[in-house]
Amino acid sequence: MTQENEATNEATNGAAGAKDYTAQGIQVLKGLEAVRKRPAMYIGDTSTRGLHHLVYEVVDNSIDEAMADYCDDIQVTIEKGDVIKVVDNGRGIPVDMHKDEGKPALEVVLTSLHAGGKFDKGSYKVSGGLHGVGVSCVNALSEWLKAEVYRNGKIYQMDFERGALVGALQEIGECPPDKTGTTITFKPDHQIFPELVFSFETLRSRLRELAFLNRNLNIVITDERGETPREETFHYAGGIVEYVRWLNESRQVICPEPVYFEGEKDGVQVEVAMDYNEGYSESLFTFANNINTTEGGSHLSGFRAGLTRTLNAYANKSGLMKKDMKGFTGDDVREGLTAIVSVKVPEPQFEGQTKTKLGNTEVKGQVEALINTHLGEYLNEHPKEAKGIINKCIAAAQGREAARKARDLTRRKSALDSAALPGKLADCSSRDPAECEIYLVEGDSAGGSAKQGRERRFQAILPLKGKILNVEKARLDKMLGNDEIRTIITALGTGVGAGVFDITKLRYHKVIIMTDADVDGSHIRTLILTLFFRHFREVIDHGYMYIAEPPLYRLKKGKTEIYAYSDIQKDRLAEEMGNKGIYLQRYKGLGEMNPDQLWETTMNPDSRTMTRVTVDDAAEADHIFTTLMGDEVEPRRRFIEENAAQIKLEDLDI
């Protein structure tokens, strides 16, 4: 779906300039729909993801003020009771009467679905919340919402309950004439959201991302729910250059400083920051008007085309290209690349309200031309770094050819009768991927129990011997030489690598990691997750990846036998059971369970507990995987020190 019925009034408002942000700049697209009846249409869903989306909608209004150069400070607070307060020092939402609606503009913005300054080019040149449904949706889905505006030397307030006005606009005080801004405080509605608990980490990731994308913007997040408040401040004078540095902090880079260039044409602003590292994965993130375009779009296409063309041209011109090479492919030039592409488009066309793909065709040529010009200049002016980049591409091309040969060995035959699988995979009888699941099990002992206890019709078991290769430190051709990884690839049936991987050929729609509840088990689980995040990302994105949750304890008293999956649950169960005469068994490994116990606690669909693996923040996940599994020791040590407080002594396997 492209942009909805944009109302324009260029002739009258455009000439007035962006500073004339008044009630007349608020234009209404008629027809308030029942947001409370179908909230998923506007915020995606009513799970924790949708809950956090409410905060993003409010913050996006403040970010729009920042992009218009009227705001440089945003404060987000999680108050006790999971109440959210967002404060900015922008111009303040207008409070004068709207000529068409006969209401204060503030009320129009907060109660009309398609209302806002985003539809009027005189108020905002560039905006993320283009559809104008954001803050009104937040109001509709909140138990209560309070809006305060600092403007004209006065403080104004309006109060709402579940979207309805309960406190008319009132002047509640005075403020310095130069003080402006908006404060929105709201409590999400428990009638809409089953779980009303905000994650500090989730909000922190998005706010940090916004600070990277808007240089010199100060964003503070505070959590007042605990005994000791948590607070973090994000302020990046270097903008997306610092974003690239942050992503690469656990990697050895080729260019001492990230390559940065920007340009503007026909009102479209383009920013690019990039660097290469000694790793083998691509970390490329694109944004349009501060929105993370996870499905890419025209700006991504333009960047990729420009990058491939420019590096091929330089390699040939400089004589660095190997004589037996025809040229670099797109995959060759993106191995080890870390890049941020951010565009600001006056009239963006996004696919759907979720805005995950940019559709403006003119942006592709503008980004490609910028790359061709500025990256070409950089390579000519920095021959040492240019040689390092080209050599990296040459090694990638050679590795691609080696991987092609190695990949041929992993191709699955129709009946899975490959010689690589004798005695390894205990396959299921069903051939319907939708009902099939495969357990990636740590060790032959647990694998044996799982094979005996499973439901053979739809459950497959693949025991893994030892720890698989750390793919964060290995190119695809080396990865394909690892027996355990090759077995996983063959069992999945999708193939691996660009141009080969095909998610439609996945043989199991539940891929379940089942490891011991100890340090080694955690390490093996992380290695497998790294493999899937780097090479089978679509398996995760489609919701096919799970982690089994085996019990930690078995409590037995007389003929009563109960399993506990946490220390809290164990203590609570011991108290239903009287705290006396209880035999307590702590499971260190899956192999300690009998087949029937493993089935009942961990594999039976009617009684098991599993965690689905999702990637809500790809950049954060990329950063963590590199920190934990990369070459640099210092960032890993720092990560462990910062998170040591969350580790319980009884969980340490020492």
pLDDT in tens, 156-210: 999 999 998 998 899 999 999 999 999 999 999 999 999 999 999 999 999 999 9
Task: Report pLDDT for 125.
Answer: 55
In this prediction, residues 229-246 reach a mean pLDDT of 96
pLDDT at 142 over 50: yes
Spatial contact of 243 and 272, defined as CB atoms under 8 Å apart:
no
pLDDT at 461 over 70: yes
Task: Report pLDDT for 124.
Answer: 52
Spatial contact of 84 and 202, defined as CB atoms under 8 Å apart:
no
pLDDT at 23 over 80: no
If DSSP codes are grouped into helix, strand and coil, which group holds residue 72? coil
Strand order in the sheet with 73-79: 164-174, 154-161, 142-151, 181-188, 83-88, 73-79, 218-223, 230-234
pLDDT in tens, 241-254: 999 999 999 899 99
DSSP state of 25: G
In this prediction, residues 510-530 reach a mean pLDDT of 90
The token duo for 164 is 């309805």
Assign 653 a pLDDT band (cuts: 50, 70, 90): very low
Q: Where are the domains of the chain?
A: 10-234, 240-407, 414-550+604-615, 553-586
Active site residue 189: no
Long-range CB contacts for residues 566-569, cutoff 8 Å, separation at least 24: 567/648, 567/650
If we measure between CA atoms, which residue out of 354, 344, 478 comes closest to residue 405?
A: 478
Residue-level length of the chain: 654
* Burial degree of 434 (CB within 10 A; 0-12, 13-18, 19+): exposed
Lowest mean pLDDT among 173-177, 347-351, 474-478: 347-351
The token duo for 261 is 């260039």
Assign 558 a pLDDT band (cuts: 50, 70, 90): confident
Element holding 157 (H helix, E strand): strand 154-161
In this prediction, residues 15-27 reach a mean pLDDT of 60
Angle 580-582-587 from CA coordinates, rounded to 5°? 145
pLDDT in tens, 273-289: 999 999 999 999 999 99
Q: How far is CA 257 from CA 148, 245, 327, in A?
A: 43, 8, 27
Task: Report pLDDT for 426.
Answer: 93
| Residue of 242, 442, 600, 620 with catalytic role | 442
If DSSP codes are grouped into helix, strand and coil, which group holds residue 394? helix
Active site residue 100: no
| Residue of 159, 282, 518, 632 with catalytic role | 518
**Is pLDDT larger for residue 117 or for residue 573?**
573
φ, ψ at 223 (rounded to 5°): -115, 110
Task: Tell me the whole-structure pTM to 2 decimals.
Answer: 0.80
pLDDT at 95 over 50: yes
Task: Report pLDDT for 633.
Answer: 77
Assign 473 a pLDDT band (cuts: 50, 70, 90): confident
Average of per-residue pLDDT values in the chain: 86
In this prediction, residues 303-313 reach a mean pLDDT of 97
| Residue of 516, 600, 617, 622 with catalytic role | 516
In this prediction, residues 142-156 reach a mean pLDDT of 96
| Residue of 435, 455, 520, 632 with catalytic role | 520
Lowest mean pLDDT among 27-31, 239-243, 376-380, 566-570: 27-31
Share of the chain above pLDDT 90, in %: 55
Out of 3.40.50.670, 3.40.50.970, 3.40.50.300, 3.90.550.10, select the CATH number for domain 414-550+604-615: 3.40.50.670
Q: Where are the alpha helices (DSSP H) in 603-649?
A: 618-629, 633-643
**Is pLDDT larger for residue 118 or for residue 190?**
190
**Is pLDDT larger for residue 588 or for residue 512?**
512
Active site residue 64: no
Lowest mean pLDDT among 83-97, 457-471, 575-589: 575-589
CATH entry 1.10.3090.10 includes domain 240-407: no
CATH entry 3.30.565.10 includes domain 10-234: yes
pLDDT at 114 over 80: no
Active site residue 516: yes
If we measure between CA atoms, which residue out of 207, 230, 292, 307 comes closest to residue 261?
A: 307
pLDDT in tens, 370-423: 999 999 999 999 999 999 999 999 999 999 888 887 766 555 443 444 444 435
**Is pLDDT larger for residue 238 or for residue 416?**
238
